[in-house]
Structure 1
Amino acid sequence: MEWLVLTAASLLAGFVDSIVGGGGLILVPALFAAFPHAPPATLLGTNKSASMWGTATATWRYARRVPLRWSALLPAAGVCALAAWLGAWVVTVVSPEALRRALPFVLAAVLLYTLARKDLGRTHQPRYAGRAEVLATCAVGGTIGFYDGFFGPGTGSFFVFAFVRWLGYDFLGASAAAKLLNTTSNVAAVALFAWKGHVWWHYGLAMALANVAGSLLGTRLALQHGAGFVRGVFLIVVAALIAKTAWDAYGALP
């Protein structure tokens, strides 16, 4: 039964993640429900071992159809990988409890801002070029990459919002760029988890195949329907993330 549930969850997670991120909202709870007594690090490592293949597939699909600014994104990907590794190490010595409690409010601010700015992400007008673009993109990759390694929920959505709001991308271009950086942060995190022995590869392989299938479907829909469709999914996913992270942080309080 666990195989069936996890495969279905991974398929859906790959679909959502390939559009705007947020696949962990689906797959991580499924893993914790299926294996309530397993070490959390092992479940998080197994999740990453599947999702990295979905994000890599989405990156490949987007790169064939959406122009990516490789001169800025490749250095940012390297910074993102290093930052994610550092974040994953820091979480072994520092509790993310304060961040967990603040996250619903940060996501609510992102949602309200996006709703208020109805034109946000409709057109693709990058604000930077040359060295300034490299520095800005590396700042995004380093900051959110560290967050992904340290805590993680909503990483893909934060990448999308940063590229739209700060760098001037439309939602489709932002999603494509986000997938590249999210792939590198996932790979870095998996490397650390695997090094520590926290990956169940037999489950990860089956989940990876399902995740890739969901990713192929999600990128196809995003490419067909464009930035407006991606913006709509972004709003739905961020709203779901607010509910989930608020419950995780405050639902168990008396």
Structure 2
Amino acid sequence: MSLTTVVAATVLLSGCSSSESEQHDHHGHTHPVVVATTTWEAAFAEAAGAADVKVIVPPSVHHAPDYDPKPSDLTAVAEADFVLYAPFEPFAAKIKEAAGSKAELIEVDLDNSAAKVKAQVQALGERFGTTAAAQAWTATFSTEYDKLGGDVRSAWPGGRQPTVIAQVFSTWAAELAGAQIVGTYGPEPVTPGQLAELSAKKPQFVLDNAHMSTGAVLPDSGVEQVSIVNYPEQGQDLLSVYRGAATALKKALSGS
């Protein structure tokens, strides 16, 4: 098994109150040590209460399998209590095995829809022993999400609900904007047949996935395409993703 095949992406996190730590076995650590495959999983972990975060895969690497792991990555996994990964990243188990780690593997549902984010953060908080921190974050998230959603809706063209076509991993942004999704595409490139079908929907906007973009989805249509970022590119603040999406959406909707 080559390290390139393994494709490690790891993040070192820790954080829970002393009272919570005493109720969980962290393999001798005062706080849980969490390794995540990408900054997206790291953002969920930090939201759940993990405090000290170190991202191994550079934010510039949008496709984790392109990353070549280093010996230090395997060392981080070997010292972890938890390893977070997504279903489409099966290499996490191989990394853990190669590192000889006793860490618990946790599959993370990387979906930014509000309900799923809150459920995932709460679940991670329970596993980490940081339930109070996770609850506090979800409360802050709910308040911020509602505010951002209201700001975006205030920019609806003519005060009317906009219609959009969204890449399958960017539908959450349409939800944030309160837009009507008339079609979806991806993650594969749009075929000529799909292009005709999507064009017939006559959407006002296309919400593309910045991490998996294949260029103009509806070329020569005049439909504005908005690039949506799904995970933090600097740091692990998941709320920054929603703030960034709200800014991009409001700008497009208002025509500015």
Establish whether TM, by shorter chain, passes 0.5. no
Higher strand share: 2
- Larger relative contact order (Cα-Cα within 8 Å, sequence gap ≥ 6): 1
Measured against the shorter chain, the TM-score band is: under 0.3
Higher helix share: 1
Rg larger for:
2
Question: What is the TM-score when the length of structure 2 is the normalising length?
Answer: 0.23
